[in-house]
Copies of this chain bind each other. A is one copy, B any other.
């Protein structure tokens, strides 16, 4: 890359404050940046890094005061703007050719759009469907009657089991498993007897699911992941869970069977919920929290077992003060004895 600061300001439609003729040759985070690099301030809490960074130019939002002499470009959303500059310096991958690789195995009754790209060693079973411009990666498996919409991108080794329905613009990372059997058994005569899992998984438009994440099919009916939901790596979504639009779930979280999660919920890493509960719209589940009851709309819960966040913080503060509390009780006991009371402990 070799752009002037003025050219970059024009690219991101921002307001340059400083030298318009700086030559920018690379991009980096504030900590790693070298002279000649452009960087960005993602969050006001990192503002002190502006004083120590070696970056020549930084994208910042309104209200941030840069150190004297530092050139900045002001934009509404520095992260989004920085993305445009990154796109400039990222060499494009070679485009995937449309068509079915000769090593892939596509059942004659399957329907694959002419613009789709079926990569080596993929298997597409009977009556499955692949939409326009969708890429099915190396070794992926599409089961009988599975349906995948347009503009999807499946990385290698994704498994979609029979009859699952995937919308448009869905991204599935390597090793994601969609439609595995739910974990259900009847305990009969001292043994587990498998409960048939004959439902499906339905994934709506604009969903992204991380590497090695697993989404179980419904026992009957559907496990349903609605439009715009984003799920990280190694997450477990059990049978008949419903996740409403634009919810985000971080790595290694687990949602137990039949739990219903609202819109715009944020679930942090390694959090877990029991089954058959409801998480309200806009709720937040803190990292590693263990949620065993319904959570109302907009509530932030934390802890194990999870409490409303402020309550949880109070609880933890009390716990940390326990040694002090014991000391106070000890003094009270002494005073009681001094006053003639008896404390026989």
Interface residues of A (CB under 8 A from B): 27-29, 32, 77, 79-80, 83, 86-87, 90, 93-94, 103, 105, 119-121, 123, 126, 137-139, 141, 144, 155-157, 159, 161-162, 171, 173-175, 177, 180-181, 183, 185-186, 188, 190-196, 198, 206, 208, 210-212, 214, 216, 220-221, 228, 230, 232-234, 236, 238, 240, 246, 248, 250-252, 254, 256, 269-270, 272, 274, 287-288, 290, 292, 303-305, 307, 314-316, 318-320, 322-323, 325-326, 328-329, 331-333, 335-336, 338-345
Minimum distance in angstroms from A36 CB to a CB of chain B: 15
- Which listed residue (B220, B290, B319, B320) contacts A288, Cβ 8 A? B290
Q: Is the CB of A228 within 8 A of B191?
A: yes
Work out how many copies of this chain go into the complex: 3
Minimum distance in angstroms from A1 CB to a CB of chain B: 12
A340 and B212 alpha carbons, distance in the complex (Å): 68
Give the chain B neighbours of A272 by CB distance below 8 A: 252, 269-270, 287-288
Most buried by B among A28, A141, A188: A141
Give the chain B neighbours of A27 by CB distance below 8 A: 220
Contact A230 to B183, CB < 8 A, known contacts A175-B212, A252-B272, A339-B340: yes
Dominant secondary structure of chain A at its interface with chain B:
loop
- List the B residue with the shortest CB-CB distance to A307: B320
Q: Is the CB of A79 within 8 A of B220?
A: no
In addition to A252-B254, A332-B336, A338-B341, 5 A-B residue pairs with Cβ atoms within 8 Å of each other are: A139-B141, A183-B250, A315-B319, A328-B345, A331-B343
Most buried by B among A77, A157, A208: A157
- Which listed residue (B144, B155, B185, B238) contacts A248, Cβ 8 A? B185
Q: Is the CB of A252 within 8 A of B236?
A: yes
Q: Is the CB of A211 within 8 A of B319?
A: no
Minimum distance in angstroms from A185 CB to a CB of chain B: 6
Contact A123 to B105, CB < 8 A, known contacts A32-B221, A272-B287: no
A185 and B214 alpha carbons, distance in the complex (Å): 21
Give the chain B neighbours of A28 by CB distance below 8 A: 220-221
Q: Is the CB of A345 within 8 A of B331?
A: yes
